Amino acid sequence: MKKVAIIGSGVAGLACARRLAADPSLKITIFDKGRHPGGRLASRDRDHNQFDYGAQYFTARSMEFKSVVSRMIEVGAVKIWNGRFGRMTSSGIMDEDSQEARYVGVPCMRSLAEAQARDLAGVLDLRQHHKVTEIEKVSGFWTLSGEMTGGEKAAPFEENEFDCLVITVPPVQAAELWRNQEKTLEGSVLSPCIATMFSFDSPLPVEYDGIRIDDPVLAWAARDSSKPGRPAGERWVLHANPEWSQENISLSEQETLDALLARFFHLLEVDAVAPSFSRYHRWRYALVTRALEAQFLIDKENEPILAFCGDYCEGARVEAAFLSGHTLAEKLLDDQA
């Protein structure tokens, strides 16, 4: 194992690269179709209407992840979100009792991924805007082909022969790349989530900064502007619940925005106010509702090595994605020792 390719620069792909980088003899390349690293650690930060529209915050329970989070705090890419958190049911809102620290990327969630990529500069060849559409074995190596996204002119997929390939994309997309593992990958399920973003000219009269909601329409509401290191303003992110998201995935943007905002005002008993900015994002594969219950997957029938990792192996959390990538890398390093 000398040259390793990883498809996906989300949490799992970066965790895998970070651990593999302990072996300086390895050349590690990540291909990702997106503009920025981070995957579902996604943020809109083009102007002051800045939002985290994927993962909202994360917790750290394992020693391995705690140590990465400490490093990210040290470089200023992560802080604790000291908001007020509640849970809303049909009987009203109550404060959440969990005292666990809720961490966020600074100045946006994606910063966690960007800081990790910066830490690996010089070791990692990170190729954003590379959408992989096919993988194949040629003369004992993996080769990848695909297309450049984002209108880049550069020649795609150069220097493209690898002794080891790690796929970290969500399972349905992973199965499209490698049909042999379709049955196993189908053991996990990711539900969709429609995320909406709203800016307001003045603060809304809501006492909470993050609210988990048991409701047929909404699952989560967050005052995004209350997170540390964000631009001033009043900005809210609302997530529809998985069932509503599934049923309404084809609704127009305006209809979706109207429906979720109206529901939010109704549930919080707030007078309706027109937002100064609004957007939506439809996640087809957002949250793991059934995990594989394996930390990672290695396709034993393949030489050179083919492996899979991602949150879908362990659960719907940033830390699960990290641990999946990290433990896979440990296994690969052990196997070649």
Ligand X SMILES: Cc1cc2nc3c(=O)[nH]c(=O)nc-3n(C[C@H](O)[C@H](O)[C@H](O)COP(=O)(O)OP(=O)(O)OC[C@H]3O[C@@H](n4cnc5c(N)ncnc54)[C@H](O)[C@@H]3O)c2cc1C
**How many whole angstroms separate alpha carbon 114 and alpha carbon 128?**
12
Stretch that binds ligand X, among 198-206, 272-280, 293-301, 309-317 (CB under 6 A): 309-317
Q: Is 245 in the site for ligand X (CB under 6 A)?
A: no
Contact mark string toward ligand X, 220..239, x via CB under 6 A: -------------------x
C-alpha of 331 from chain center: 23
Strands 164-167, 3-7: parallel, antiparallel or unpaired by DSSP? Answer: parallel
CA dist list (Å): 269 to 92, 224, 272, 292? 11, 20, 9, 40
The binder of ligand X chosen from 55, 268, 305, 306 (CB under 6 A): 55
Q: Which residue has the tokens 């895998």?
A: 16
Stretch that binds ligand X, among 227-235, 267-275, 299-307, 317-325 (CB under 6 A): 317-325
CA dist list (Å): 145 to 13, 262, 283, 301, 306? 18, 45, 25, 22, 16
Contact mark string toward ligand X, 246..285, x via CB under 6 A: -------------------------------------x--
The binder of ligand X chosen from 4, 16, 17, 41 (CB under 6 A): 41
Per-residue 3-state assignment (H helix, E strand, C coil) for 214-246: CCCCEEEEEEHHHCCCCCCCEEEEEEECHHHHH
DSSP secondary structure of 167-196: E-S-HHHHHHH-GGGHHHHTT-EEEEEEEE
Which residue from 35, 27, 45 is spatially nearest to 9, judged by alpha carbons? 35
State the minimum distance, in angstroms, from the CB of residue 54 to ligand X: 4
What type of residue is 179? R
Stretch that binds ligand X, among 8-16, 66-74, 181-189, 256-264 (CB under 6 A): 8-16
State the minimum distance, in angstroms, from the CB of residue 36 to ligand X: 9
The binder of ligand X chosen from 287, 291, 305, 306 (CB under 6 A): 287
Of residues 93 through 152, those in contact with ligand X by CB under 6 A are: 131-132
The binder of ligand X chosen from 318, 328, 329, 332 (CB under 6 A): 318
The binder of ligand X chosen from 86, 170, 171, 275 (CB under 6 A): 170
User: Which residue, 69 or 321, is less far from ligand X as judged by CB?
Assistant: 321
Strands (E) across 231-298 are located at 234-240, 277-290, 297-298
C-alpha of 236 from chain center: 19
Stretch that binds ligand X, among 21-29, 64-72, 135-143, 314-322 (CB under 6 A): 314-322
The binder of ligand X chosen from 1, 73, 204, 316 (CB under 6 A): 316
Sign of CA dihedral 33, 35, 38, 40: negative
Q: Where do contacts with ligand X occur on this chain (CB under 6 A)?
A: 7-13, 31-34, 39-41, 54-58, 131-132, 168-170, 173, 193, 195, 239, 283, 286-287, 310-311, 316-318, 321
